[in-house]
Homo-oligomer: A and B are copies of this chain.
Amino acid sequence: MQPKDIVYVNGTFLPRAEARVSVEDRGFVFGDGVYEVLRVINGRLFATRFHNQRLEKSLAGVRIQLRDEDSPARFVDIGKQLLKENKLLAGEATLYIQVTRGAATRAHFFPPPATAPTVYISVARFTPSADLAENGAIAITHPDLRWGRCDLKTLNLLPNILAAQTAKERGAFEAMLIRDDVVTEGTRTNFFGVVNGSLRTHPCDTHILPGITRSVLRELAREVNIELDETPIKASEIPKLTELFLTGTTTDVMPVVKLDDKPVGKGKPGELTRKLQRVLAESLASGGD
């Protein structure tokens, strides 16, 4: 029997195919909302506290106020119920949580205070790419055309979409975004690289999303005595990269072995990348909260 595909919208659990929102929802007309994606392995959710904190920060950043009875923790509980209803307690899955500023007559400024935010929560089966993790992925460089608050996880994702699509059309898994001559991050991942033997990534500021896996890996690297230098990689340093990998909730540590049709380092996953893949995998195998 086909498993049910049940999602949650504004207090109601219903089949995905029937889950609809008003055409006046500010998510639909303005991309006026924020979201999170959580990793689930055998029913265990990862880094829930970090995701909840980031959702709070995104909501505050765009000034969406939840109803008193709502909270990121409550959304995660709803997510757990969805995992159960959709029979996703075994194997890998993702939990998606989205909050918009609600439905109201279209106007740029905020809707009346009584307007309840729209909450959409769904879960999905997820299959990590063992092949890319093992053999490495292909990436391209692409101009970073995004706005000035990339630290907020908002629904305004058109620049990410256009870059991700360009990457796909060029046979690549991800686009490495370049702003003001430095590597910021990917369209849905953070980028780490090794230049002159030193592991580097962009610091957390308004030009990158503070990735949860990025942050977890930062701690894990420290534990295994790998130093991380949060000085952004310059575009001019790209030819000097000996290792390159990306991190994300659904990508873990993914080696990048080819960039803009040129091999990165020896064209295969590097030593530091392999080590960090291992420590993250161990953490995922033992972790969950």
Q: Which residues of B contact A187 (CB under 8 A)?
A: 108
**A interface, over-half SS:** mixed
How far apart sit A19 and B22, CA to CA, in the bound complex (Å)? Answer: 6
How far apart sit A106 and B98, CA to CA, in the bound complex (Å)? Answer: 12
Interface with B: A81-89, A147-155, A229-237, A254-262, which one?
A: A147-155
Q: Which residues of B contact A19 (CB under 8 A)?
A: 22-24
Q: Which of A92-108 contact B (CB under 8 A)?
A: 96, 98, 100, 105-106, 108
Oligomer: number of copies: 2
6 new A-B contacts, CB < 8 A, other than A16-B23, A30-B155, are A27-B31, A31-B155, A110-B161, A145-B147, A145-B148, A147-B158
Q: Which residues of B contact A100 (CB under 8 A)?
A: 28
- Residue of A62, A98, A146, A147 ringed by the most chain B CB atoms within 10 A: A147
Q: Which residues of B contact A167 (CB under 8 A)?
A: 109
Q: Is A188 part of the contact surface with B, judged by Cβ < 8 Å?
A: yes
Q: Which residue of B lies closest to A101 (CB)?
A: B161
Q: Is A266 part of the contact surface with B, judged by Cβ < 8 Å?
A: no
Contacts A/B (CB < 8 Å), 26 sampled: A7-B23, A16-B24, A20-B22, A25-B28, A28-B120, A29-B155, A29-B157, A30-B31, A31-B31, A32-B158, A63-B162, A63-B165, A96-B106, A109-B167, A110-B161, A110-B165, A110-B168, A143-B148, A145-B147, A145-B148, A147-B147, A147-B159, A148-B159, A149-B159, A154-B158, A155-B158
Q: Is A279 part of the contact surface with B, judged by Cβ < 8 Å?
A: no
B165 touches A109 (CB 8 A): yes
Interface residues of A (CB under 8 A from B): 7, 9, 16, 19-25, 27-32, 35, 62-63, 96, 98, 100, 105-106, 108-110, 120, 122, 124, 143, 145-149, 154-162, 164-165, 167-168, 187-188
B108 touches A161 (CB 8 A): yes
A30 touches B62 (CB 8 A): no
A31 touches B106 (CB 8 A): no
B109 touches A23 (CB 8 A): no
How far apart sit A168 and B110, CA to CA, in the bound complex (Å)? Answer: 9
Q: Which residues of B contact A62 (CB under 8 A)?
A: 158, 162
Instruction: Select which of B31, B122, B148, B159 is within 8 A of A157 by beta carbon.
Output: B31
Instruction: Select which of B108, B146, B158 is within 8 A of A164 by beta carbon.
Output: B108
B109 touches A161 (CB 8 A): yes
Q: How close is A105's CB to chain B, nearest CB, in angstroms?
A: 8
A21 touches B24 (CB 8 A): no
Q: A157-B108, A187-B108 are contacts. A29–B149 as well, Cβ < 8 Å?
A: no
